[in-house]
Amino acid sequence: MMRRIVCFGDSNTYGFSPFDCSRYSKDIRWTGVLDKLLGDKFEVVNEGKNARTIAFDDPYNEGCNGMADIDACIDANAPFDLMIIMLGTNDLKAYFEATPQMIADNLLKMCELVREKTEAKLLLASPMLLGDQIEFSPLRLEFGRQQVQYSFELAPYIEAVAKKVGADFIDIAVVAMSSDVDCLHLVPEEHEKLAQAMQQKVLDVFREELEQEAKEEEEQRQREQEERLEEERRRQEEEDRFREEEQRQTEQAAAEESEMTARQEETIDFEQVVARQSKMAEDLLEAADQEEKVEDLLGAATGRMEETESLLKETMARYTDLEWQGEEDAQQIRLQAEAIMRAAGESTGEFQTEEAFRGEAAAGLGRGEKEKMLSGRLYYSMDPQLRAERAAARKLTKAYNETDVDEDGRRRQILSELFGEMGADCYVEPPFRCDYGGNISAGERFYANFDCVMLDVAKIKIGDHVMLGPGVHIYTACHPIDAAVRNTELEYAKEVCIGDNVWIGGNVTINPGVHIGNNVVIGSGSVVTGDVPDGVVAAGNPCRIIRRISASDKLYWEEKKEEWERG
């Protein structure tokens, strides 16, 4: 089933290039990349337009009011299954004097209009942030410091609209960043990141349908397989019947030939009897010529006839015995065959008793729980092996936390036994807590301040030159939403990855599955629930991108360093 997706947006959907004001080719635009990533079950339609707003008439860009042309867009692309609306950036222009609330109110009206026109699903995308230096860019007459601040506040308002109209939501600011060229438009690398994030979101939107479709396809495949197997079975049965009939005819022909041979032999025997009778008759005639008395001749003839009768009875009895003996042989063969079949049946019944099978199954219940845990599948948390490994980690962390400040060598020795991998010059201030330790890998010059906790049920990967403030908690453990399953002590986990040159402030909580890029600063008290890209300052609950770390930051802190060096 082909699903049609309409992407209704502004210049970043259209594919505007900040380098030369041209349009990116389809294979660079995020809509084109998304179409390729989704495969042949989806068709992605680009309905982007430069300078498009949600509901404002731009005095410098005629025909860019989204409310004025969304009707035509819906009619032109109907029927479709999903509409993605990514608007709001142009509504921030200074001469519109629009607050995030006003922009959200206009977006709500647009969504209500879409709901009236189509039953397609709806996905609202909050646009990426305006660049921190846009007020110094060629776009400074349209966007100032206030508009930059509004761009940081826009996402929660758009998310609220999505909840109100029953639409899905994605925050593009977490995924992609505007270029340093004009602080507004995306470069090709950011189009790629946006397409990848959109792919996952689209698959989530259609997850139930895709799973049902996959299930039906699998059932159809199994039916076809079963039909092929049934056809093969019928063909095999037909071949077996043909061979059996051929064998039966061969055996019947052999039996008829054997019977004919036996009859021929029987005929020969009786011919011999007749010949003997003829010979005896000739002897009798000769004797009659020689005997003078009729009484002697009759007596001799009577005796000969009795002998002939006895010989005939003996011959018939012998053939009767042979026939009986043949039946007995056949019966014996059948009895032996039945005994062999019974023996085979008894041997197949002795493979394994139910008690032995249950015992073996019970013994194998705990096998592979660690492998399941590390692969992100459900696993039994009270598995004996896992409990033993947690207990060993508790002993090592207890020994570590009881060391004195001058026991650097012992601390490093304990950490090397506790962590799975550890680079040079790593230091962790006690007290420190973890689940297993062996699932933690830390790069060179890693530092963790007091009271850090790492629940390393899955892998926790930390790069080089990473600093953790006091009270940082990193979680990988997850629990089923359903209480009945959760109460069986089944759990699962998602790995956490932290790149190089990262500073994480105090009391930050990092949730399962989070990936933090390189050269990142996370403000204290943040709750990080989603991925954080390279080169940004992020903070808040939930954690959001505050600004990009720019070349001006580097210059500022190099000057401060030089001042320090000069004393």
What is the set of active-site residues?
A: 479
Q: Which of 505, 502, 500, 514 is nearest to 539 (CA)?
A: 505
Which contacts (CB < 8 Å, 24+ apart) does range 136-139 have?
A: 137/182, 137/183, 137/184, 138/182, 139/182, 139/183, 139/184
**Exposed/middle/buried for 315, CB within 10 Å: 0-12, 13-18, 19+?**
middle
CB atoms < 10 A from the CB of 304, how many?
16
Structure tokens belonging to residue 164: 């109100």
Which residue has 């026939």 as its token pair? 323
CB atoms < 10 A from the CB of 148, how many?
19
d(CA 444, CA 496): 18
CB proximity list for 84: less than 8 A, separation 6 or greater = 5, 6, 7, 8, 9, 123, 125, 198
The end-to-end CA distance of the chain, in Å, is 71
DSSP 94-125: GGG---HHHHHHHHHHHHHHHHHH---EEEEE
Structure tokens belonging to residue 249: 């005819």
d(CA 49, CA 64): 7
Using the CB atoms, write b or e for 162-180: b if 16+ within 10 Å: beeeebbbbbbbbbbbbbe
Q: Which amino acid is at 326?
A: G
Q: Which of 496, 497, 500 is nearest to 535 (CA)?
A: 500
Structure tokens belonging to residue 354: 């139910």
Q: Which amino acid is at 198?
A: M
Distance of CA 19 to the CA centre of its chain: 40
**What is the dihedral angle through the alpha carbons of 409, 413, 418, 423, rounded to the nearest 10 degrees?**
80
d(CA 411, CA 477): 26
Within 5-135, where are the H helices?
A: 11-14, 30-38, 66-77, 100-117
